[in-house]
């Protein structure tokens, strides 16, 4: 007995539906995998957002991991070294949007004007350049740097260890300072050693007893040749140099033993510190 035409028709229709579904399946998958067309400038916008996110991740990673250190130089003879006190550094944390940032005249000018502040007074780049001048010098690499103290315009005092590797870029430096002023200390990578640490005022409590404290200012009445001045100093005790790290103004000379001018022209903090390091390197035959 032959098959009825109705059964054959139903089987044929079912096969046609299955074949159509199998053909449409890969096409649907391929359609889902195709990227949507981007708007004009969408690629650049995406790159900017990725760069910003990468920057935030990098800063967050640096904050979690801590600071790298350089191999600690050892002075076998344990001779006295140099101590630097950087006064009136403009490091102030402000809440910009949803984040806490170190305020500066380039990025936060409108924010500062709205609060009736002068953007020209917010120059954290000065202290960044000053610290790089110290830590990049042969004096530091030879192990003759004993300590660095920084006091901000707000009166916050913190210590920096001599074997710290300071951030090279200004953005990372500001991220580091923001973290320091909020958490009060920065540790080394993989260690508990505090490389930057907020300490109590005054700074004189941390300076060696009997060490001459020398303040430098363009407004000082006593003008000296720095190389001759340093050459005449004693080799048996460390030298403390007090330098301003602000755009305008004078340092507090109340705790200094001598107040000198080393140039007839105003010098930046970094230039002044380069001269001091060069004079000490010549006196101690470094480099």
Question: Which pLDDT belongs to residue 40?
Answer: 42
SS3 state at 30: helix
Contacts of 160 (CB under 8 A, 6+ apart): 131, 147, 148, 149, 150, 195, 196
Instruction: Give CA–CA dist 211/235, Å, rounded.
Output: 11
- Is the model's pLDDT at 24 over the cut of 60? no
CATH of the domain at 263: 3.40.1280.10
Percentage of the chain lying above the pLDDT 70 cut = 73
In a domain, 72, yes or no: no
The answer, yes or no, to whether residue 281 has pLDDT greater than 70, is: yes
Domain presence at residue 51:
no
> Is 46 domain-assigned?
no
Can you give the length of the chain in residues? Answer: 287
Percent of the chain residues past pLDDT 90, beyond the cut:
54
Q: Is residue 244 part of a domain?
A: yes
Q: What is the pLDDT of residue 11?
A: 56
Range of the domain at 154: 80-88+125-163+189-282
For residue 141 the two structure tokens come to 């690499």
114 in any annotated domain: no
Q: How far apart are CA 269 and CA 126, in angstroms?
A: 7
Q: Is residue 57 part of a domain?
A: no
The whole-angstrom separation of Cα 186 and Cα 132 is 18
Q: What is the reported pLDDT for 215? A: 96
State the pLDDT at residue 253.
84
Does residue 36 carry a pLDDT above 50? no
Measured N-to-C along each axis, helices 269-283 and 124-135 cross at an angle, to the nearest 10 degrees, of 10
Say if CB 203 and CB 256 are below 8 A apart.
Answer: no
Per-residue pLDDT band at 255 (split at 50, 70, 90): very high
Tokens linked to 8: 């054959």
**Which of 84, 93, 87, 122 minimizes the C-alpha distance to 245?**
87
236 domain-assigned: yes
Give the pLDDT band (50/70/90) at residue 189: confident
Confidence of residue 51 (pLDDT cuts 50, 70, 90): very low
User: Rounded mean pLDDT of 14-30?
Assistant: 48
Domain count, the chain: 1
98-108: per-residue pLDDT in tens?
888 898 888 78
Residue found by looking up tokens 């200390």 in the block: 185
Question: What is residue 70's three-state secondary structure?
Answer: coil
- Would residue 278 count as lying in a domain? yes
pLDDT surpassing 80 at residue 237 = yes
């Amino acid at each position: 007995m032959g098959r009825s035409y109705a059964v054959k028709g139903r089987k044929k229709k079912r096969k046609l539906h299955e074949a159509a579904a199998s053909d449409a399946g890969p096409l649907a998958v391929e359609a889902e995998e195709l990227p949507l067309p981007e708007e004009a400038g969408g690629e650049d916008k995406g790159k900017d957002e990725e760069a910003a996110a990468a920057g935030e991740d990098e800063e967050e990673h640096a904050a979690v991991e801590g600071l790298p250190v350089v191999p600690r130089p050892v002075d076998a003879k344990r001779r006295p070294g140099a101590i630097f006190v950087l006064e009136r550094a403009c490091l102030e944390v402000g809440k910009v949007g949803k984040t806490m940032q170190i305020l500066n005249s380039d990025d936060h000018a409108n924010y500062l004007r709205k609060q009736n502040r002068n953007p020209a007074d917010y120059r954290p780049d000065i202290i960044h350049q000053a610290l790089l001048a110290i830590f990049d010098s042969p004096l530091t690499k030879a192990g003759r740097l004993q300590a660095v103290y920084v006091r901000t315009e707000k009166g916050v005092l913190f210590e920096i260890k001599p074997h710290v590797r300071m951030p090279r870029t200004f953005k990372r430096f500001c991220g580091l300072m923001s973290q320091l002023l909020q958490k009060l200390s920065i540790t080394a990578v993989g260690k508990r050693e505090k490389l930057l640490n907020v300490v109590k005022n005054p700074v004189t409590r941390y300076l060696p007893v009997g060490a001459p404290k020398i303040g430098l200012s363009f407004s000082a009445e006593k003008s000296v040749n720095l190389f001759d001045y340093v050459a005449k100093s004693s080799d048996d005790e460390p030298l403390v140099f007090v330098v301003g790290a602000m755009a305008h103004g004078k340092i507090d000379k109340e705790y200094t033993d001598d107040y000198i001018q080393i140039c007839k022209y105003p010098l930046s903090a970094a230039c002044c510190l380069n001269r001091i390091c060069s004079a000490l390197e010549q006196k101690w035959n470094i480099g």
